[in-house]
Amino acid sequence: MANVIVVGAQFGDEGKAKVTDLLSRNADVVVRYQGGSNAGHTVVVNGDTYKFHLIPSGILYPGTLCILGPGMVIDPKAFITELAALKKRGLDDSQLKVSATAHVTMPYHLAIDAAEEEARGDKKIGTTKRGIGPTYADKCDRTGIRIEDLLDPEAFRAKLEWLVPKKNIILERLYNLPPQDVETIYREYIEYGKQMAGYVADTSAIIFNSVQERKNILFEGAQGTLLDLDHGSYPFVTSSSPSAGGACVGAGVGPTIIDRVIGVSKAYQTRVGEGPFPTEQFGEVGEKLRQTGTPWAEVGVTTGRPRRCGWLDLVLGRYAVRINGLDCLAVTKLDVLDEFDEIKVCVRYKDRRTGQVYENLPSMAGAFWRMEPVYESFPGWRQPTSDCRSYSDLPAPAQRYLNFISEQLDVPVAIVSVGPKRDQTVVVEDPIHGPKRVLTVHHHK
């Protein structure tokens, strides 16, 4: 029995879905604990590509209990559409559960997300416009609608009658947008409630029972550490807690049940949306990374936006190890680097203004923007790695690159992904039952 959290160690899009899919083979329960349809998880099975936004990718394994946890925000229309498409492809939804207390993304959240982005002008965040921020804002404001409200027509109508006029003041007066209508929303969302009712459950209790029964539980993170509301590159973050701590709050479990935390990092770095990205490459290197990100170029799964690309940033890697307490790392998309003569990796930052050098991300306002990467350079291996299935199959320079990452971050690299397919994977050591990480004593500097 092992309960495992899989988190993104970068800015999201690390290839978590492939790693989650690999680990789901031995999981009895897969839980999404935060975020909503802003996520885009791609899994390739037997040549078929599946793209998930809300539903845990564990649904690919019949019999695996798949949970949308209370920390999520759910757009019911997106949920129903995604589920219908998966069912059409023959996937079994009998083990799918949705938390009664997850929050609902309403039409006014979608409208406000888009309007706020527009109004921010050159200070925009670059959100996915899926209503994520406004839905979580209402949750914190204690004016949110929860999934259970969609199952209670009277209470739902009363909430809408109170909330919609308030939202209309924002829409009309602040953003010059048309008002929304209580009756129209009521009818549409009560219908969604009816369609979702069969899936709605007290998911925290279900997970607790699974723990008691010694089942294997996998907590599937969306987005990444640097997009975490508390620990990311604020304000260029999402509005939830993708980092490992968020799994307990978002799923409704105690930290004592967690056995292991696995971080997922690409062999390089990408970011979608605005915000600091010290190792970003604008010229030929950035374009080559973007175009090579196989089999689809580096383009956002949810929004279709081209991803910003750059060299691997180990300062941020160290930060992700600290924030998540990572036990081991899965390094993905190593094959994307196959054709590079030289591979750079950022090992330190230098403050452009003061010249001070940092091994760890300094905690001070605006610092992120002033950081200039200090690189170490590695020779490329200039040969395909997609057919490698063991560590010794990997070219020596690729092994050196991976060893360097592991040494610098002080965590073992347990999995290396060399392509999108399930079998294009090198398992270096057991990611779940490997030795518990012993923290090296060194001062944070």
Virtual CA dihedral for 82, 203, 254, 247, nearest 10 degrees? 10
- Burial code (b: 16+ CB inside 10 Å, e: under 16) for 349-358 equals bbeeeeeeee
Dihedral of alpha carbons 40, 109, 112, 236, sign: negative
Integer Cα distance of 274 and 237 in angstroms: 9
Among 238, 269, 324, 332, binds ligand IMP (CB under 6 A): 238
Dihedral of alpha carbons 238, 412, 301, 339, sign: positive
Under the binding rule (CB under 6 A), the answer on residue 408 touching ligand IMP is no
Among 76, 133, 250, 293, binds ligand IMP (CB under 6 A): 133
Given the rule CB under 6 A, which of 20-28, 120-128, 212-220, 281-289 is the region that contacts ligand IMP?
120-128
Binding-site size, ligand IMP (CB under 6 A): 20
**Cis peptide preceding 295, ω within 30 of 0:** yes
Under the binding rule (CB under 6 A), the answer on residue 222 touching ligand IMP is yes
Residue 13 known to be catalytic? yes
Under the binding rule (CB under 6 A), the answer on residue 346 touching ligand IMP is no
Q: What does the per-residue mask of binding to ligand IMP show for 46-75, with x meaning CB under 6 A? A: ------------------------------
- Whether the CB-CB separation of 65 and 39 falls below 8 Å is answered with no
Given the rule CB under 6 A, which of 66-74, 178-186, 222-230, 365-373 is the region that contacts ligand IMP?
222-230
Helix-strand-coil split of the chain, %, nearest 5: 40, 20, 40
Q: Cβ closer to ligand IMP: 73 or 402?
A: 73
Under the binding rule (CB under 6 A), the answer on residue 242 touching ligand IMP is no
Shortest Å distance, C-beta 275 to ligand IMP: 6
Q: How far is CA 385 from CA 266, 379, 426, in A?
A: 15, 15, 10
How many residues are recorded in the chain?
445
Q: Return all residues near 291 (Cβ < 8 A) that are at least 6 apart.
A: 297, 298
Shortest Å distance, C-beta 131 to ligand IMP: 8
Half-sphere exposure of 86 (CA within 13 A, CB side): 25
Helix (H) or strand (E) holding 77: helix 76-88
Characterise 50 by phi-psi region: left (phi > 0), alpha (psi -120 to 50), beta (else): beta
Q: What does the per-residue mask of binding to ligand IMP show for 287-326, with x meaning CB under 6 A? A: ----------------------------------------
Q: Cβ closer to ligand IMP: 129 or 167?
A: 129
With 0-12 / 13-18 / 19 or more C-beta atoms within 10 angstroms meaning exposed / middle / buried, residue 186 is middle
Tokens of 376: 């170490």
- Report which of 385, 381, 368 is spatially closest to residue 334, judged by C-alpha positions: 385
Among 9, 22, 30, 132, binds ligand IMP (CB under 6 A): 132
Under the binding rule (CB under 6 A), the answer on residue 221 touching ligand IMP is no
Given the rule CB under 6 A, which of 130-138, 190-198, 252-260, 289-297 is the region that contacts ligand IMP?
130-138
Integer Cα distance of 180 and 31 in angstroms: 34
Residue nearest to ligand IMP (CB): 273
Shortest Å distance, C-beta 303 to ligand IMP: 7
Among 115, 171, 227, 330, binds ligand IMP (CB under 6 A): 227
Under the binding rule (CB under 6 A), the answer on residue 150 touching ligand IMP is no
Among 82, 126, 148, 306, binds ligand IMP (CB under 6 A): 126
Among 31, 33, 40, 368, binds ligand IMP (CB under 6 A): 40
List phi, psi (to 5°) of 423: -80, -5
List phi, psi (to 5°) of 416: -125, 125
Under the binding rule (CB under 6 A), the answer on residue 38 touching ligand IMP is yes
Q: Cβ closer to ligand IMP: 30 or 388?
A: 30
Give residue for tokens 């209790």: 205
Residue 100 corresponds to which amino acid? A
Residue 443 known to be catalytic? no
Q: Cβ closer to ligand IMP: 128 or 281?
A: 128
Shortest Å distance, C-beta 439 to ligand IMP: 29
Q: Cβ closer to ligand IMP: 273 or 278?
A: 273
266-285 binders of ligand IMP (CB under 6 A): 272-273
Shortest Å distance, C-beta 127 to ligand IMP: 4
Under the binding rule (CB under 6 A), the answer on residue 18 touching ligand IMP is no
Shortest Å distance, C-beta 270 to ligand IMP: 8
Q: Return all residues near 318 (Cβ < 8 A) that are at least 6 apart.
A: 359, 360, 361, 408, 409
Give me the active site residues, please. Answer: 13, 41
Chain residues in the site for ligand IMP (CB under 6 A) = 12-13, 38-40, 125-128, 130, 132-133, 222-223, 227, 236, 238-239, 272-273
